[in-house]
Amino acid sequence: AVQWYRKAAEQGIANAQYNLGVMYVEGQGVRQDYVQAVQWFRKAAEQGNIEAQHNLGAVYANGQGVRRDHKIAKEWFGKACDNGLQQSCDAYRTLD
């Protein structure tokens, strides 16, 4: 599955980019690598994928693959919240 997600992700398909990011977080079919996960989440998030926006907020909130940064975490949780993801609204409030 990894090679198909990677191929689609490299062609700019946001859902594939998000799924590839998840695979890197979980170490599914690839070596666990939060730095790679963040790169793929960012690509998907910038295209409006709300799950990727949420996960990008989470990695910044927790400092996984990036330096912990609650300001950036709030930006991404805020975008996902604005796009209708309730758990992102909740996460946004916990960073206040």
Per the structure, the complete domain to which residue 56 belongs is given by 2-94
What pLDDT score was predicted for residue 96? Answer: 76
Percent of the chain with pLDDT over 70: 100
Residue 47: both structure tokens together: 């295209």
Supply the angle between the helices 2-10 and 14-26 in degrees, to the nearest 10.
Answer: 140
- CATH number of the domain within which 27 lies: 1.25.40.10
Q: How many domains does the chain have?
A: 1
73, 66 Cβ separation under 8 angstroms:
no
Is the pTM value of this prediction over 0.85? yes
